[in-house]
Amino acid sequence: MNAIHEYVAYSVPAGFLLLALWTLFAFVRNKPPHDWYWTLLAALQIVLGIQIVVGIVLFLMGGRPTPPSGPVWLHYVYGGLFPAALLVAAHRYASERFKEIPYVVFGIVALVNFGLTFRALQTGLG
């Protein structure tokens, strides 16, 4: 299970970076992104949720990230808590204030989540 968590962990920051770049591309073109944009966002949310569940299972089984790259708790905050909280906030904010360009809100959150999940990868692998 640890190998699955590690393998899938590389796809999460890569997906968030792709989503952020796609947002920038759509914003520069002044056109909304293709429907696949929203499919990618949904897939990233599902994969992040699975990673969080697998991480909790690994934690309960005694698995911990290697500590040399910082405090262990940072891995949980960067990899699960903050990215999930930002996505929840993005859904609320995009539907209430930015109804015409909700993809911009998700693009900004995707860029921040890229940094957070990349750092979680660093703290998890040591």
- What are the structure tokens assigned to 120, written together? 């979680």
CA-based nearest residue to 90, from 107, 78, 73 = 107
In whole numbers, what is the pLDDT of the chain averaged over residues?
A: 92
Cβ 103 vs Cβ 37: under 8 Å:
yes
d(CA 62, CA 77): 18
Task: Return the residue matching tokens 């520069």.
Answer: 28
Which range marks the domain in which residue 43 is found? 2-125
Helix, strand, or coil (residue 10): coil
Amino acid 67: pLDDT: 66
How many folded domains does the chain comprise? 1
pTM of the model: 0.91
- Look at residue 64 in the predicted model and tell me its pLDDT: 83
- pLDDT, tens digit, for every residue of 26-73? 999 999 999 999 999 999 999 999 999 999 999 999 888 876 667 888
How far from the centroid of its chain's Cα atoms is residue 78's Cα? 9
The per-type count for the chain, helices as H runs and strands as E runs, is 6, 0
Would residue 62 be called left, alpha or beta, if left means φ above 0 and alpha means ψ between -120 and 50 degrees?
left
* Look-up of token digits 């660093």: 122
